[in-house]
Amino acid sequence: MTAKPVILAIDDDSNVLNAVSRDLRAHYGDEYRIVRAESGEAALDALREIRRRSEPVALLLVDQRMPNMNGVGFLVEAIKIVPDAKRVLLTAYADTDAAVQAINQAAIHHYLTKPWDPPEENLYPVLDDQLQDWQANYRPEFAGIRVIGHRWSPPAHDIKDFLTRNHIPYRYYDIELNPQAQALLDDTGLENPTLPLVILPGDGAVLESPTAAEIAQKIGLQQQAEQPFYDVIIVGGGPAGLASAVYAASEGLRTLMIEREAPGGQAGTSSHIENYLGFPSGLSGSDLARRAVTQAKRFGVEILSPQEAVGVRIEGQYRIVRLANGSEVSCHVLIIAVGLAYTTLDIPGIEPLTGAGVFYGASTLEATSCAAMPVIVVGAGNGAGQAAMHLSQYASDVFLVVRGETLEARMSQYLVDRIHETPNIQVRLNHVVAAVSGTDHLETVTLRDCLTNQEARYPATGLFVFIGALPCTGWLRGVVAMDEQGFILTGSQVMNDDKPPASWTVSRQPYLLETSIPGVFAVGDTRAESVKRVASAVGEGSIAIQFVHQYLSDLR
């Protein structure tokens, strides 16, 4: 909620200050927050704190005769901090010269002579007029989280990415480009702060270079389970995990979902999904994730995010998940939906530029930072094609780099056609990225022709990498059966010449999406031989709950 606008009263005489504060609260206390200060210096400190909290200041009611800094001197400085606040000077009968000076130097809007009794006649009508004028021109400032950082700072990028993917409103202030950034930095009172800074709404708390977990704790994202036991625990919050959560909870199962970064998974970073059934105009991965999370919570799904599962053990009919914070939570059924992590490029110069022009995936966050500049997309799948189309709306030129001989081999035809129709997309077939360079951010990318082995350097402010992905299943090694790449085996895949593995403890065959351990299922991209599409992941997530019910009925 937007904070109440502030009326700041300043007077060095405590009796006068008490009286004016009393009258202000009596008439304006319901709609305005009344703040008081006993000197100009204290009032300036108060204004800086108020600005740091993003609270609007509607009116300054200032006494002229104060030691060290008089009313006019204060107002001259206050204009620099709150230029839109109405300025009213309190003077004695003999201070008419000061009032004229205040009009000329501090552009006051009105002056009042003391005493103002009765306030109904001498105070409120004047202030009512000023406040009505202020309200008519007031445009509420953003009152959410504010982030101050450098444009090419990888930690700043990580913070913005975390907030964006978790659908948390924030405003970013570039210290090099936005003059408000330095003013906010000064208001914190910190000497040599470590950027990026995160300023929280409400109490205006300042976090220096915080981790995602620290931000999550401060803003109230849930990271600890409310109960020790659930019917179903789902690890992974992508489309498959969210679908499992929605269907499990809607059918009466106590459901906990654990997501390492943000609900939506890798699909949540997709700029535009055009072939998802029921959305003829397409939708972004972020929109899909937001809708699914709302749906899951409506059915009572408990979501821990950001939180990471780091281990699991089996004790009879219980599956016990260990979290990164050291706590444990148990269940009857565990569903693995951890998805994939992008494969990284192993080339000279790339590590220090990751997050500073080199990105894995391509959300709107990165796209807008490359406006009117050339970018390079590496990859041949639909993710790369969607990114190229999305970036073409912002960048001056998009170079799509493909190792293979054709786009059609791995990309949907509708994307291939649209890429060829887009004038600022240039396709480089039979090419790979050989090197990248830049000082504090990406400046050039070197491409190598696979047929001639010749290299060429291209200027670029963004390199977006889609060269494959591997499952996030390292924490499950030795627990469930996997293939050589770490994809989880399910159903008939876990059988060896029709013989179950040693971990299989029941007499029946594994269900379609069941792993080598009864009651542990795998869905979505992390499952071996799965179809890497959002729709198929959603389908598997929903189908899994049918087998969950069968498994639970066997237990009973």
Query: For residue 410, what is the domain's CATH number?
Result: 3.50.50.60
Task: Tell me what the mean pLDDT of segment 108-130 comes to.
Answer: 88
Domain boundary among 185, 219, 253: 219
Beta carbons of 426 and 399 less than 8 angstroms apart: yes
Residue 301 falls within a domain, yes or no?
yes
Among 467, 494, 517, residue at a domain's last position: 467
pLDDT score at 96: 65
User: Which has more confidence, 103 or 258?
Assistant: 258
Residue 426 pLDDT: 97
Take residue 389 and report the two structure tokens written for it: 């189309």
CB atoms within 10 A of CB 186: 12
* In a shared domain, residues 203 and 299: no
CB 56 within 8 A of CB 6: yes
Q: For residue 15, how many C-alpha atoms fall within 13 Å in the half-sphere facing its CB?
A: 2
pLDDT at 284: 83
Q: What is the mean pLDDT of residues 306-319?
A: 96
> Is there a single domain that holds both residue 103 and residue 153?
no
Residue 159 is predicted with a pLDDT of: 94
What pLDDT, on a 0 to 100 scale, did the predictor assign at position 75?
92
- The span from the CA of 67 to the CA of 238, in Å, is 63
Q: Which amino acid is at 346?
A: D
Torsion region of 491: left, alpha or beta (phi above 0 gives left; psi -120 to 50 gives alpha): left
What is the per-residue pLDDT for 304? 96
- With respect to residue 346, please indicate whether it lies within any of the assigned structural domains: no
**In this structure, are 14 and 109 located in the same domain?**
yes
Average pLDDT over residues 205-209: 94
- Residue 102 in this model has a pLDDT that exceeds 80: no
**Percent of residues, the chain, with pLDDT higher than 90:** 71
Looking at the structure, do residues 85 and 188 belong to the same domain, yes or no? no
The pTM assigned to this predicted structure is 0.80
Look up tokens 């030795």; give the residue.
478
Give the whole-angstrom CA distance, residue 43 versus residue 128.
22
pLDDT reading at 366 higher than 80: no
| pLDDT tier at 473, thresholds 50, 70, 90 | very high
Q: Yes or no: say if 362 and 391 are a contact pair by the CB < 8 Å rule.
A: yes
**CATH number, domain with residue 195:** 3.40.30.10
pLDDT at 272: 78
Residue ranges making up the domain that contains 212: 145-219
> What are the tens digits of pLDDT across the range 398-451?
999 999 999 999 999 999 999 999 999 999 999 999 999 999 899 999 999 999
Bond before 115 cis per omega within 30 degrees: yes
Residue 489 lies in a domain: yes
More confident site: 478 or 364: 478
Q: For residue 1, is it within any domain? A: no
Does 189 have pLDDT greater than 90?
no
Q: Report the CATH number that the domain containing residue 11 is assigned in CATH.
A: 3.40.50.2300
The conformation of residue 276, written as its DSSP 8-state character, comes to: S
Mean predicted confidence (pLDDT) in 328-355: 94
More confident residue, 348 or 253: 253
Residue 206, pLDDT > 90, answer yes
Residue 106 has pLDDT above 50, yes or no: yes
- Tokens 């220090």 correspond to what residue? 352
Per-residue model confidence (pLDDT) at position 1: 42
* C-alpha to C-alpha distances, 310 to 40, 324, 348, nearest whole angstrom: 55, 6, 32
Number of domains in the chain: 4
Q: Is residue 18 located within the same domain as residue 118?
A: yes
As given in the structure block, the two tokens for residue 386 are: 């969607």
Is a pLDDT exceeding 60 seen at residue 94? Answer: no
d(CA 359, CA 367): 10
Closest CA to 403 of 391, 411, 392, 395: 411
Q: What is the mean pLDDT of the chain?
A: 91
Q: Are residues 361 and 410 in the same domain?
A: yes
Whether 279 has a pLDDT exceeding 70, the answer reads yes
Pick the range with the lowest mean pLDDT from 24-33, 215-224, 269-278, 305-314. 269-278
Q: How far is CA 226 from the centre of its chain?
A: 24
Domain membership of residue 224 (yes or no) is: no
Final residue in a domain of this structure, among 197, 219, 241: 219
Predicted confidence band at 367 (pLDDT cuts at 50, 70, 90)?
confident
Helix, strand and coil content of the chain, in percent to the nearest 5, comes to: 35, 25, 40
pLDDT at 318: 96
**Which amino acid does the sequence have at 354?**
T
Q: Are 401 and 432 in contact (CB under 8 A)?
A: yes
Based on the fold, state whether residues 72 and 131 are members of the same structural domain.
yes
| Integer Cα distance of 479 and 508 in angstroms | 20
Are 238 and 334 within one domain?
yes
Same domain, 68 and 149: no
Q: What is the spatial distance between Cα 118 and Cα 28, in angstroms, rounded to a whole number?
A: 16
Q: How far apart are CA 84 and CA 78, in angstroms?
A: 10
List Cβ<8 Å contacts ≥24 apart for 413-417. 414/274, 414/275, 415/382, 415/385, 415/386, 415/389, 416/385
Q: So what's the pLDDT on residue 216?
A: 93
**Residues 314 and 461 placed together within one structural domain of the fold:** no
| Same domain membership, residue 279 and residue 295 | yes
301 and 325, same domain (yes or no): yes
Can you name the residues that pair with 61 across neighbouring β-strands? 9, 88
